[in-house]
Amino acid sequence: MDAAIYVSRHAPIDRIDPNVYGHLTEHLGRCIYGGVWVGEDDRVPTEDGIRMDTVELLRNLDAPVLRWPGGCFADDYHWKDGIGPREERPRQRNMWWAQGRENRPEESNAFGTESFMRLCDLLDAEPYLAVNVGSGDPEEGVDWAEYCNYDGDTEMTRLRAENGSEEPHDVTYWGVGNENWGCGGRYSPQLYAEEFRRFANYLKGFDRVMSDGSMELVACGHVTDDWNRQFLEHLEKCVSFGQGSVYDLLDHLSVHRYYYAGGDTDFSTEQYYRMLARAARIGEDVDRAAEALEMFAPGSNAGIIVDEWGVWHPEAVFANGLEQENTVRDALAAASVLDDLNERADVVAMANIAQTVNVLQCLVQTDEEDAWPTPTYQVFDLYKAHMGGTALRTTVEADVHTVESRSDEFGPQDTHDVPLVSASASETDERVRITLSNRALDAVSSTTVAMDVADATVVDSEVLFAGKETDDYSTKDNAESFEPSTIAVENHGDGTFAFDVPASSVVGLTVER
């Protein structure tokens, strides 16, 4: 199979916000408890109860932003339960992640706001908090903002000092609820618009007067166009009866996208390609949400945040805390999602793969003694050079695999073409990073990359998953075998390069002039 990729240094798209490479950490299964927080357990090195083997792995990825405490958990979370002496914190239900009476996880509240901020400090990552809209009220939300961000002398700032933080945490990103069309309150778009307006009015009011005006509010959107448009239309109505515009209150609109086809390690050829086709829907979700924003505020700076995305296999169920094997196939899907997000650098403000540790398409897995990276982690490692770079227009000519559309999963057409090669590129300080994957199951791709600069030379080339099967997954004993190896590249000296990409593998190239 032949593939041709064109990368245009003369067609910059926009800066890739580093936050596009962000993560979700929810109080769900072994993500926070076990994966991040082990408290007094001394089987692994810790700082303030946070396990450092997980931290070291995430540090290596330059993890830019962490979303917390959920997920669905966020709309049943009352942040004041998670501060103060641990032995006095209330022990509670974790109702979203229970499976019937035989499996009812409980929340100890051992990990609260201060622990989360400590985790962010250890990673040098931005915190992104999800405020409880479904079962909370604006006062609770604004108290949290005051606790985190105010630098004066109030009950909230004294509380923060008592909990160990004299200085504010300066949290920029605030989600106003989570999936409020579902677990976050089952609102209609109109009712959520009214709730959003109420919460945002007080959060923004606090920020404008008591802080530095840098809080950014994220409204909960949906992958269906209808929700986004109805929400924005109603929000506009609500706001225009008062003063100002929708965009005095809203900075970003979020969408979530999960996908699967077949099982985690057991899937057919057809299911392999169907899952890649479903992963590509993230690009369409972003485009549709951006169109809705553009319709209601042409020219605004509001961005799209994909604050949950990833593979959710049928094996990940409530009873096992949404754990699944994470294979090379999942990592290939992640590579193409990241290509699609890079390509939309002009509208995507952030993305958070679900979920950082142990849960769903995690990057890190742990047991009581060790932490190790998944194949998806390796993709993030290969792609991290894109963070903060300028995305460059990249086009791919490659064969496609055609999957049949089921009901209208890919829109009105009967079939959907999955390009067998996916790619994206960015430039940072005169160095161009090109990432690409050959998604063909059984064919090497003879690939040519052409750039619109004659003196470009590949100075570094790596490949992931050469020699692996698509259903291979990492364990603590074999994780190293998923690390990249070098790949031979022919530099033609005229801005073109040629190389063979093994079947179902991912390549990262660094190009200099």
Span interacting with ligand AHR, options 58-66, 70-78, 168-176, 427-435, rule CB under 6 A: 70-78
Two tokens, residue 273: 């390609």
* Residue 70 in the binding site for ligand AHR (CB under 6 A): yes
Residues 357-376 that bind ligand AHR (CB under 6 A): 360
Please tell me what DSSP assigns to residue 160: H
**Which structure tokens are listed for 54?**
């997980």
Q: Is 506 helix (H, G, I), strand (E, B) or coil?
A: strand
E strand or H helix at 130, and its extent?
strand 126-131
Please provide the DSSP assignment of 59-126 as one string.
HHTT--EEEES-SGGGGG--GGGGSS-GGGSPPEE-GGG-BTTTB--EE---S-HHHHHHHHHHHT-E
Q: Which is nearer to ligand AHR, 129 or 511 (CB)?
A: 129
Closer to ligand AHR at the Cβ: 26 or 251? 26
Q: Taking the CA atoms of the chain, what radius of gyration do you get in angstroms?
A: 23
Q: Does 26 bind ligand AHR (CB under 6 A)?
A: yes
Give the total of residues touching ligand AHR (CB under 6 A). 10
Helix axes 113-123, 52-60, angle to 10 degrees: 50
Nearest approach in angstroms of CB 306 to ligand AHR is 12
Beta bridge partners of 75: none
126 catalytic residue (yes or no): no
Which residue is nearest to ligand AHR, using beta carbons? 71
Q: Report the C-alpha gap between 451 and 431 in whole angstroms.
A: 13
Annotated catalytic, 308?
A: yes
Between the alpha carbon of residue 356 and those of residues 37, 57, 115, 364, 377, the distances in Å are: 13, 11, 16, 6, 9
Q: Which stretch binds ligand AHR (CB under 6 A): 66-74, 169-177, 268-276, 374-382?
A: 66-74
Nearer to ligand AHR, 72 or 501 (CB): 72
- Which of the stretches 67-75, 198-206, 223-231, 416-424 binds ligand AHR when contact is defined by CB under 6 A? 67-75
For the record, the structure tokens of 439 come out as: 């998604």
DSSP structure string for 422-441: EEEEEEETTEEEEEEEE--S
508 binds ligand AHR (CB under 6 A): no
Q: Are 252 and 303 spatial neighbours (Cβ–Cβ below 8 Å)?
A: yes
The verdict on 175 binding ligand AHR (CB under 6 A) reads: no
307 part of the interface to ligand AHR, by CB under 6 A: no
The residue assigned the tokens 């840098």 is: 214
Q: In the complex, what is the shortest distance from the CB of residue 363 to ligand AHR, in angstroms, rounded to a whole number?
A: 14
| CA proximity to 389, closest of 16, 10, 61 | 16
- Name residue 457's beta-bridge partners: 512
Minimum Å gap between C-beta 31 and ligand AHR is: 9
Contact 275, 336 (CB under 8 A): no
Nearest to ligand AHR of 201, 324 (CB atom): 324
Please say which residue, 17 or 308, places its beta carbon nearer to ligand AHR.
308
Query: Using CB under 6 A, which of 71, 221, 419, 508 touches ligand AHR?
Result: 71
Which of 285, 308, 325, 343 forms a contact with ligand AHR (CB under 6 A)?
308
> How far is the C-alpha of 389 from the C-alpha of 328, rounded, in Å?
26
In the complex, the smallest distance separating the C-beta of residue 187 from ligand AHR, rounded to whole angstroms, is: 14
Assess 178 for contact with ligand AHR (CB under 6 A): yes
> Which residue of the set 26, 107, 114, 179 is catalytic?
179
317 vs 444, beta carbon nearer ligand AHR? 317
Q: Which residues share a beta bridge with 421?
A: 438
Pick the piece of the chain touching ligand AHR (CB under 6 A) from 137-145, 338-346, 353-361, 440-448: 353-361
Select the span of 64-72, 119-127, 288-296, 384-392 touching ligand AHR (CB under 6 A). 64-72
Which of the residues 404 through 443 are near ligand AHR (CB under 6 A)? none
Per CB under 6 A, 324 contacts ligand AHR? no
Whether residue 347 contacts residue 290, with contact meaning beta carbons closer than 8 Å, is answered with yes
Among 333-341, 354-362, 415-423, 442-450, the segment contacting ligand AHR (CB under 6 A): 354-362
Q: Residue 511 in 3-state DSSP? A: strand
Q: Which is nearer to ligand AHR, 195 or 343 (CB)?
A: 195
Least distance CB 205 / ligand AHR (angstroms): 27
Q: Which of 38, 72, 279, 286 binds ligand AHR (CB under 6 A)?
A: 72
Asked if residue 146 binds ligand AHR (CB under 6 A), the reply is no
Cis peptide bond N-terminal to 355, omega within 30: yes
Which of 179, 207, 330, 472 is in the footprint of ligand AHR by CB under 6 A? 179
Catalytic residue among 114, 216, 308, 325: 308
3-state secondary structure of 456: coil
354 in contact with ligand AHR (CB under 6 A): yes
Cis peptide before 375 (omega within 30 of 0): no
Q: How far is CA 491 from the centre of its chain?
A: 35
The distance of closest approach from Cβ of residue 312 to ligand AHR in the complex, given in angstroms and rounded to an integer, is 7
One-letter amino acid identity for 40? E
Whole-number minimum distance, CB 179 to ligand AHR, in Å?
A: 5
C-beta closer to ligand AHR: residue 103 or 214: 103
Q: Which residue pairs from 149-155 have beta carbons closer than 8 angstroms and sit at least 24 positions apart in sequence?
A: 149/207, 149/210, 149/211, 149/215, 150/206, 150/210, 150/211, 152/210
Distances (CA, A) of 145 to 142, 193, 212, 310: 5, 21, 12, 29
Which positions touch ligand AHR (CB under 6 A)? Answer: 26, 70-72, 178-179, 308, 354-355, 360
Catalytic residue numbers read: 179, 308
